[in-house]
A and B are shown apart, each in its own frame.
Chain A
C-alpha cells in the first residue's frame, strides 16, 4: 500500500463573507469565458409547516415571476437575451437558483439574483397559475413513473414523522391547498443574505469579482433567520415492505440503512463513502462481482451513501434480480443479505488501496466543467462542511484506514434498516399463496 501523501487543494478557490452575512466562494476555471452562479438558500422542504408540503418548491417557481424592479415575464426574457442557462431546484435542505452564462454577462446575473432575494412581487393570478404548474410537475415527474409509490412509501416508513419522510413536491392535495400568504411568509422568513451561500465558478478572479458581489449583494440587509433543527431519527427499527404495482415488469430489491447525521460522524463519513464504492460503486465492485458475474442471481446491483443532508445519512443498496433464475421475493432478499455478509471478507488493504487510487485518478475531472465545482462546493458548504473539507477531500479519503472501513461495515449491520421489494402486480397472488 502506498503511503498517503499530503495532496494539493483541488480547486483554485477563495471564500469571504459580506457584512450582511452572505458567504461567498469563487472558483477559478479559465478554460473558456464562462461563469456559473449558484445561490444556495439554507431552506428546503423540511422547513415547511406540516400539511403545507410543496411550499418551498412553489416559492422557488415564483421567484421567476418578477419583482418590484423586474415585471412578470421580464426575468426570463432578460436571462434568455443574455444567453443564460437559468434554472433552480428545491431539495429537502436547500433551495438553489443558478445560471450558466458567458462571463461577460455576470453583472446582469448578479443584479437579477440579488434583486429577487428581496423584492419579489407576485400577483394572485401568477400565484394561481404557478400552483397549477407545480401540480402538473408532480404528476409528470413523480406520478407518471409507475415505480414512484414504492420509493415514496420507503421514505415515509424510514423517516416516520420526520419531515424527511414527505415528498419535496408536496402531496397533490397539499399543493392544491397552498395559500399565497403562506408562501410569501416562507420567503420573508428565510430569504436573507445571512441565510445563503453564493458560489461563482468560471473565468473570474477575486480582484474583479469582489467589488461586483459587494455592489449587488452588499446592499441587502441582514435579517434574523431562525431555522429549526430537525431531530434525527434515533429509533432502532427493522422494517420490511413488499409492494406490487401496476405496469411494473422488473422486480427490485432495496436495502437501506439509517446512519447518524454528519456532525456525529466526523471523518467516519469518508469510511462509509469508500465502503459504498467497494461494495457497489459500478461494475468492478464486490457485490457486482459476486451477484452478477459469479452467482448470476442479479443483473444489476449498486450501493451509495448519501451524506448531503442535515439529518441522518443513509446508506443504500439496490439489486435487480435475475428473473431468468427461479425468483421469489424471499430468496432475492436472502441472496442480497448473504452477499453483503460475505463481502466483509473482501474488505482488504489491497482493495482499499485500489479504491483510493481510483478516486485520486479521477480528481482531475473536477476542474473540467466549471459547473461541477459550483455544485459540489455549494452542497458541501450547505450541509455544514467547510471549504477546507472540499479542498482536502482527497487527503481525507487517503487517511481512511482499513479498520475504519470494517468498523463502518459493522455499524451498517447494526443500524436501523429497511428491506423493500417491488414486484409486478401479477406476482402478488403467487407470493400470497
Chain B
C-alpha cells in the first residue's frame, strides 16, 4: 500500500468527487489521437518528391532536385565489390581500400587532401559492405568544382603510398583487437562463421591479423581496376543541382572508370535452420544471442507481406509482439527485435536480445512460443492495419537529409523498385491482404531459427 504513497491518495481524491461524473469525465478526458489527426490544420500537408532518371556516358542515375539548402549529395555503390569478393587470403582488402582512398591522391598528399576537404566543406568517404563497395560525396554548391577535383583524384590517382599502407594496416590490426574485446564483437564474427559456413559471408569483414599483414599496394590497385567500373556502378544524386548539371557531374566523376566488369557473382546462400544452438563461452554480465531463419529478397512478391508480419512480430520497436511480452511485461531484457536483411545472395529473417543469466532462458522460451504462434495463427486484421498505418505514416522520414535521399535513390535502382517507387510505395503497403500476410507468416515462421549465443545462459555457473 505505502508503495503508492501520495499517488494512491490522489486517486482516492478524484473518486471522492463523485461517482456520477466519473464516467463522463473519463470519456471526455481521454485523448483521441485519431480525432486530433482528422481535425488537424496540418493533416493535408503533402509532398511530391519527383525522381528523374538521367544518363551520361552510358551510366544511368536517379536524381532528386531539392534547392532549399545549397548542398549536393552523390551516393554511389559498386555492386559485387564488397568484402565477400575478396579472395580467401586477402580478407580486409576492401576495408584497407576504403581507408587508403582518403590518404593522398593526385596533387595532394593525405594531409592536404583532408585539409582542403574540410576547408571547402567537402565530405568524401567510402564504405566496404559485404556485397558492395560504396562511396559518397557531399558538397556545398559553391564548392562543387573542388569536390569534383578531390573525388576524381582519389578514384583515378590514389597514391597508395607505402607509408600510409603501413599505418592503415596497423590501425586495422588495432581496430580488430578492439572489436574482439567486446562480447558483441566476438559474437558477430562467430555468428558469421557458423551461420554462413562454407560461403564467403562467413569470413570476418575486417580480416584476420595474418591476412591484413599480407595486403599489398598491388592488391589495392588490382581490386580497384577489376571491381570499380562503369558497368557495376549505381548512382544517386540529390540536392541543389539540375538534371543537365547532374549529368555533367556523372561524366566528370565517373566517366573515366574502366568500362567492363568481369567479376562472377558469388553463389546464393539459402539458410536451413532447425532451432540449433551454438554457444560461445565468455564471462560477461549478460548473454547475447543472435538468431536467424530464412527471409525473402527485396524485390520478391513476399516482401511486403513478410515485412508487415515481421513488423508486427519484432520489427516495429516497443510496440512489437515480442517487445511487449519479453520487455514490457516481464522486464527480461532492454531490447528484443527481429529484422529482415536482404544481402545480394542471402535473404534472412534475424533477430537478437541480451539478458542476464537468470532471465535468458525465460526470454528465449517466450520468444519461441511467440515464433510458433506466428507461424500457426499469423496476425490479426487489427494488427495488420496498425502496421500498415505506421509504414504509410512514416513514409516521408526517408527524406530527412540530402545524403540519405541520395542513398535511397541508389537502393531504388539496386533493388529495381522503379522510378515511380516513391509514388507507389504506400499503395504496395495498402494492397497487402490479411491472407497474404498470414501466408508469409506461415512460410517464414514455420521452422525454428538457429541461435548463436555468447555468455552464461543460466545463473547456475557450474552448468556452463
Chain A positions near chain B (C-beta within 8 angstroms): 29-34, 64, 68-70, 73, 76-85, 100-108, 111-112, 115, 124, 128-137, 139-141, 143-147, 179-181, 184-185, 188, 203, 208, 212, 246-250, 282-284, 289, 292-293, 296, 299-300, 320, 322-324, 354, 357-358, 361-362, 364-365, 367-371
B182 touches A144 (CB 8 A): yes
CA distance A274 to B86 in the complex (A): 42
Q: Does B47 contact A (CB under 8 A)?
A: yes
CA distance A132 to B329 in the complex (A): 10
A145 touches B174 (CB 8 A): no
Across-interface contacts of B283 in A (CB, < 8 A): 246
Known contacts A82-B37, A282-B114, A358-B118; A144/B393 CB under 8 A: no
In the complex, residue of chain A having the shortest beta-carbon distance to the beta carbon of B66: A31
In the complex, residue of chain B having the shortest beta-carbon distance to the beta carbon of A143: B285
CA distance A124 to B1 in the complex (A): 10
Our pick among B5, B355, B394 for the contact of A84 (Cβ within 8 Å) is B394
A76 touches B318 (CB 8 A): yes
B68 touches A30 (CB 8 A): yes
CA distance A372 to B280 in the complex (A): 40
Known contacts A33-B47, A34-B396, A181-B3; A293/B167 CB under 8 A: yes
Interchain residue pairs A-B with the least CB separation, the first 6: A83-B393, A132-B331, A83-B394, A361-B121, A32-B399, A181-B5
Our pick among A69, A293, A320 for the contact of B30 (Cβ within 8 Å) is A69
CA distance A316 to B286 in the complex (A): 31
**Minimal beta-carbon separation of A136 from chain B (angstroms):** 4
Across-interface contacts of B2 in A (CB, < 8 A): 181
Interface positions, chain B 76-128, Cβ under 8 Å from A, are 110-111, 114-115, 118-121
B143 touches A102 (CB 8 A): no
Q: 1/0 per residue B417-455: CB within 8 Å of A? A: 000000000000000000000000000000000000000
**Minimal beta-carbon separation of A86 from chain B (angstroms):** 8
Known contacts A133-B327, A144-B184, A361-B120; A83/B392 CB under 8 A: yes
CA distance A413 to B41 in the complex (A): 57
A368 touches B401 (CB 8 A): yes
B111 touches A293 (CB 8 A): yes
CA distance A369 to B354 in the complex (A): 32
**Minimal beta-carbon separation of B98 from chain A (angstroms):** 14
Across-interface contacts of A140 in B (CB, < 8 A): 286, 333-335, 354
Q: 1/0 per residue B174-187: CB within 8 Å of A? A: 10011011111000
Q: 1/0 per residue B7-31: CB within 8 Å of A? A: 1000000000000000000000111
Across-interface contacts of B416 in A (CB, < 8 A): none
**Minimal beta-carbon separation of B309 from chain A (angstroms):** 15
In the complex, residue of chain B having the shortest beta-carbon distance to the beta carbon of A68: B29
Across-interface contacts of B380 in A (CB, < 8 A): none
Known contacts A124-B3, A299-B167; A284/B334 CB under 8 A: no
Q: Does B260 contact A (CB under 8 A)?
A: no
Q: Does B300 contact A (CB under 8 A)?
A: no
In the complex, residue of chain A having the shortest beta-carbon distance to the beta carbon of B31: A69
CA distance A364 to B4 in the complex (A): 51
**Minimal beta-carbon separation of A366 from chain B (angstroms):** 9
A139 touches B286 (CB 8 A): yes
Our pick among A102, A107, A129, A248 for the contact of B181 (Cβ within 8 Å) is A248
B180 touches A249 (CB 8 A): yes
**Minimal beta-carbon separation of A267 from chain B (angstroms):** 24
A33 touches B45 (CB 8 A): yes
B331 touches A83 (CB 8 A): no
Known contacts A80-B386, A129-B328; A284/B114 CB under 8 A: yes
**Minimal beta-carbon separation of A145 from chain B (angstroms):** 6
Across-interface contacts of A362 in B (CB, < 8 A): 118, 121
Q: Does B258 contact A (CB under 8 A)?
A: no
Across-interface contacts of B177 in A (CB, < 8 A): 249-250
Extra inter-chain contacts (15) besides given A70-B31, A146-B182, CB under 8 Å: A33-B45, A33-B396, A80-B386, A80-B390, A83-B389, A83-B397, A85-B394, A111-B31, A140-B333, A143-B285, A144-B288, A250-B181, A284-B114, A358-B119, A364-B69
**Minimal beta-carbon separation of B24 from chain A (angstroms):** 14
A-B contact pairs, 14 of them (CB 8 A): A33-B47, A69-B29, A76-B317, A76-B318, A80-B390, A82-B390, A83-B395, A101-B397, A105-B42, A129-B329, A133-B334, A136-B331, A181-B2, A299-B174
Our pick among B42, B318, B391 for the contact of A107 (Cβ within 8 Å) is B42
CA distance A323 to B178 in the complex (A): 13
Known contacts A181-B4, A364-B140; A147/B181 CB under 8 A: yes
In the complex, residue of chain A having the shortest beta-carbon distance to the beta carbon of B283: A246
B393 touches A102 (CB 8 A): yes
Interface positions, chain B 49-74, Cβ under 8 Å from A, are 49, 66, 68-71
Across-interface contacts of B327 in A (CB, < 8 A): 133
CA distance A131 to B41 in the complex (A): 39
A180 touches B393 (CB 8 A): no
Across-interface contacts of B36 in A (CB, < 8 A): 107-108, 111
B143 touches A361 (CB 8 A): yes
**Minimal beta-carbon separation of A230 from chain B (angstroms):** 26
Q: Does B462 contact A (CB under 8 A)?
A: no
Q: Does B44 contact A (CB under 8 A)?
A: yes
CA distance A369 to B404 in the complex (A): 9
Q: Does B6 contact A (CB under 8 A)?
A: yes
CA distance A115 to B288 in the complex (A): 37
Across-interface contacts of B242 in A (CB, < 8 A): none
Q: Does B276 contact A (CB under 8 A)?
A: no
Q: Does B301 contact A (CB under 8 A)?
A: no
CA distance A382 to B115 in the complex (A): 33
CA distance A212 to B167 in the complex (A): 56
CA distance A293 to B43 in the complex (A): 56
CA distance A403 to B331 in the complex (A): 55
Across-interface contacts of B184 in A (CB, < 8 A): 144
Across-interface contacts of A136 in B (CB, < 8 A): 286, 331-334, 354-356, 359
In the complex, residue of chain B having the shortest beta-carbon distance to the beta carbon of A354: B119
B182 touches A364 (CB 8 A): no
Q: Does B171 contact A (CB under 8 A)?
A: yes
Known contacts A73-B328, A146-B182; A80/B45 CB under 8 A: no
A181 touches B355 (CB 8 A): no
B33, B183, B393 pick with most chain A CB within 10 angstroms: B33
Our pick among A80, A181, A249, A367 for the contact of B69 (Cβ within 8 Å) is A367
CA distance A133 to B397 in the complex (A): 28
CA distance A142 to B97 in the complex (A): 33
Q: Does B402 contact A (CB under 8 A)?
A: yes
A181 touches B7 (CB 8 A): yes
**Minimal beta-carbon separation of A410 from chain B (angstroms):** 26
B4 touches A180 (CB 8 A): yes
B334 touches A249 (CB 8 A): no
**Minimal beta-carbon separation of A169 from chain B (angstroms):** 11
B45 touches A203 (CB 8 A): yes
B396 touches A102 (CB 8 A): yes
Our pick among B43, B69, B330 for the contact of A104 (Cβ within 8 Å) is B43
A144 touches B30 (CB 8 A): no
Across-interface contacts of A299 in B (CB, < 8 A): 167, 170-171, 174
Across-interface contacts of A300 in B (CB, < 8 A): 171, 174
A102 touches B170 (CB 8 A): no
CA distance A249 to B177 in the complex (A): 6
Across-interface contacts of A102 in B (CB, < 8 A): 45, 393-397
**Minimal beta-carbon separation of A21 from chain B (angstroms):** 23
Across-interface contacts of B42 in A (CB, < 8 A): 103-107, 208
A101 touches B394 (CB 8 A): yes
A368 touches B114 (CB 8 A): no
Across-interface contacts of A246 in B (CB, < 8 A): 283
B31 touches A144 (CB 8 A): no
A368 touches B285 (CB 8 A): no
